[in-house]
Every structure is written in C-alpha cells, then in structure tokens.
Amino acid sequence: HRRFDYRPKSDPYCQARYTFCPTGSAIPLMKEEDVIEVYRLQAPVWEFKYGDLLGHLKIMHDAVGFKSSLTGKNYTMEWYELFQLGNCTFPHLRPGMDAPFWCNQGAACFYEGIDDAHWKANGTLVLVTTISGTMFNEMARWVKYDNETGIYYETWTVQASPDKKSTVWFDSYECSKFILRTYQKLADLGAVFKKIQTNYTSIILFSGEPIYLGNETSIFGPQGNKTLAAAIRDFYSPFKPHQTVREFFVDLFRIIDRVILNHQFYLFYNLEYWFLPMKSPYLKIIYEEVPLPVGSKASFGV
C-alpha cells in the first residue's frame, strides 16, 4: 500500500451519514514510568445470513484499548472510514463528470473510555500485552505518521487463489490492518504479547494477473479511452455509495452476480484503475487467524 506525502482536504460533496470520530481527542502524553495495559477489542459489524451462498459471515470491526495504571483512565483507538464503508468501496457517478468520483479516506480515531458492554457482549475484550509510558508515547508518534501518509481505505484483498501461499495482487487497508500495524509497532518497541488466538476478517477477490489500465486523467481525460471509460462507468452504475451497512451488503451481492456472470472487476487502488480477470471462487469472506507479533528487537537482541 502506497504512502502519500500528506492527506488531501475532503471535498464538501463527500458527506458522512455518521460523523467521523465524534468524541475524538488528541492522544495524551503518558508519564514514562506509567504501566499501560493493552486490550484487543473486536465486535461484529453486522451479522447476517444470505441463503446457502456464503452462509453465516463474521464481519468484524477491530480496535485497541489502553488502560493507564497511574491515572486509571481507559482509551480506545480504532481506524475506519471517514465517509462510511460504501463510499470507500464504490464511487459516485455524478452528472456532468466523466470520471467516477471517490469519497474515500480512512483515519485513526482516539478517544477516552472503553465501551466494555459493547465489546464484551458481542465480541472480544482481552488483555494482550503491557507497555511502558515511553512505549506508548513512541507509538503515538508513529500513529501520527501512519495517519498522515496512509490515507485511503481499501476494502478488497485481491489474490490469485484461495491457497494459503497464493500470490496477493493487492492488499486491503482497513480497520484490522491498522490494529495489526499498531501491534507490530509495539512489538518492535519491545512489547511482549500473550500467546492467544487472534482472528480477523478479510474480503477477498480471486483474479488472474491484474491488468493496469491507467489513472483518472489517462482514462477519462480529453485524450482518454472512451470505450474503457464507458465500461468502468457501466461496471459501477448499479452501486450506491451513500448507504447503510445493510444496503452495502446488498450491493456486495450485486457485485458478485456481475463478476461471476462477466468474470470481470474494475479495481481503483492508490488512485489507479486495474482490470481483474476474475476466476472461481470469485469472492470469499474469511475469518482467519493472524498471530500476535514477535518483536524484531527481542529476536535480534538489540
């Protein structure tokens, strides 16, 4: 996933159904001698059944919690879409504009408190490691960098086959990836994680080798490829970005129908368009184990 120099200003056209990070606050500076507990937080986004096609799906949202021993205060940190999931996955086809218009950004949100009932009742709230105030402050600096340079949300992982060792053409960039990056940063700073099973949700598309198509200007600009531009617009035409989570999944299944019928998918990734020659099983939503990290410091004795 490409890093960018800065986060662009949001276009006023992009309106969120729910305010992003409404109670968010700056990450506090912890006292160096503080001992901070780190919690893994996970709960279902929305549970549903869809016939026998995909059965019961575990679509989970991940976050991380902190508790300061010195102050007794709790904090939650998560990463999610500025304009909800539909906007990160589907563009708007606006009248008078040739190119699909994307309202796609993701960012970290930090706020005081952990909603114990939410995480415990529906999912997971478990202690994974303990860190010092110094490590926490280092992590906070890294979060600022990560947030300013990793700006686009990416729903899809794209790989060659369901095989574990399969080629990954494109990696997703969403809430769980931020949590995994945070854990890795803490491990690199010296945090030692407990040995517990940790699972994460991925939405995976299966495709032959992707074909690079170009960027917005080269496809939709004055010297662009009119046929390709029309094909991309047509592909995105049934999908609506402004929608509830439930409507998003209805659109997800519409996509599956089109993809299976035509064996094609147009992906917008890091501001570029790619053609995916889709192949069976086309799409899978998996909930699989990703182990907690082992720090590079400990392994190299640095």
Taking only the tens of pLDDT, the chain with its 302 residues reads: 678 888 888 888 888 878 889 999 999 999 999 999 999 999 877 544 443 333 356 678 899 999 999 999 999 999 998 887 778 888 999 888 999 999 999 999 999 999 988 888 778 999 999 999 999 999 999 999 999 999 999 989 999 999 989 999 999 999 999 999 999 999 999 999 999 999 998 889 999 999 999 999 999 999 999 999 999 998 988 777 666 767 777 777 777 777 777 888 999 999 999 999 999 888 888 888 899 998 765 444 33
- Nearest C-alpha neighbor of 196 from the set 291, 287, 122: 291
User: Would 50 be classed as within a structural domain?
Assistant: yes
Closest CA to 136 of 82, 73, 79, 196: 73
Asked whether the bond before 281 is cis by omega within 30 degrees of 0, the reply is yes
Residues 195 and 224 in one domain: no
Residue 44: beta bridge partners? 60
Token pair in block for residue 102:
């994307």
End-of-domain residue from the set 178, 199, 220: 199
Q: Is residue 285, in this structure, part of any structural domain at all?
A: no
Selected catalytic residue, list 88, 103, 109, 175: 175
- The three-point CA angle 28-33-39 to 5° equals 60
- Give the range of the structural domain holding residue 41, as residue numbers without chain letter: 35-160+167-199
Tell me whether residue 263 is one of the annotated catalytic residues.
Answer: no
pLDDT tens, residue by residue, 98-111: 999 999 999 999 99
Q: Out of 61, 88, 103, 109, pick the active-site residue.
A: 61
Asked whether residue 30 is assigned to any structural domain, the reply reads no
**Are 171 and 221 in a shared domain?**
no
CA 259 – CA 265 distance, rounded (Å) = 6
Same domain, 84 and 175: yes
In a domain, 297, yes or no: no
Residues 129 and 191 in one domain: yes
Whether 92 sits among the annotated catalytic residues: the reply is no
DSSP per-residue codes, the chain: ----SSPPPPPTT---SS-SSTT--PPPPPPTT-EEEEEEEEEES---EETBTTEE---EEEEEEEEETTT--EEEEEEEETTHHHHHHS-B--TT-SS-B----EEEEEEE---HHHHHHHSEEEEEEEEEHHHHHHHHHHHHHHHHH----B-EEEES-SSTT--EEE--BSHHHHHHHHHHHHHHTT--------EEEEEEEEESS-EEEEEHHHHHSTTS-HHHHHHHHHHHTT--SS--HHHHHHHHHHHHHHHHHH-EEEEEETTEEEEEEEEEEEEEEEEEE-PPP--HHHHHT-
> CA-to-CA distance for 213 and 228, rounded, in angstroms?
9
CB atoms closer than 10 angstroms to residue 288: 10
- The answer to whether residues 107 and 252 belong to one domain is no
Query: Same structural domain for residues 63 and 183?
Result: yes
Same-domain pairing of 50 and 178: yes
Show which of 199, 221, 249 is a domain's final residue.
199
- Is 186 found in the same domain as 79? yes
pTM: 0.88
Specify the pLDDT at position 188.
Answer: 95
CA distance 140 to 146: 10
Q: 110 with 220, same domain?
A: no
Q: Provide the b/e sequence for 8-23 (b: ≥16 CB within 10 Å).
A: eeeeeebeeeeebeee
Total tally of structural domains belonging to the chain: 2
pLDDT tens digit sequence for 235-249: 988 777 666 767 777
Identify whether residues 192 and 219 lie together within a single domain.
no
Give me the count of residues in the chain. 302
Euclidean distance between CA atoms 82 and 181, whole angstroms: 19
- Inside any domain, residue 24: no
Question: Is position 45 within any domain?
Answer: yes
| Cβ burial 26-48 (10 Å sphere, 16+ → b, else e) | ebbebbeebebebbbbbbeeeee
Count CA within 13 A, CB hemisphere, residue 238. Answer: 14
- What is the C-alpha to C-alpha distance for residues 258 and 264, in angstroms, rounded to an integer? 8
Instruction: Tell me: do 125 and 75 sit in the same domain.
Output: yes
In sequence order, what are the beta bridge partners of 80?
107
Q: Is residue 95 part of a domain?
A: yes
Q: Is residue 13 part of a domain?
A: no
Instruction: Verify that 74 and 114 share a domain, yes or no.
Output: yes
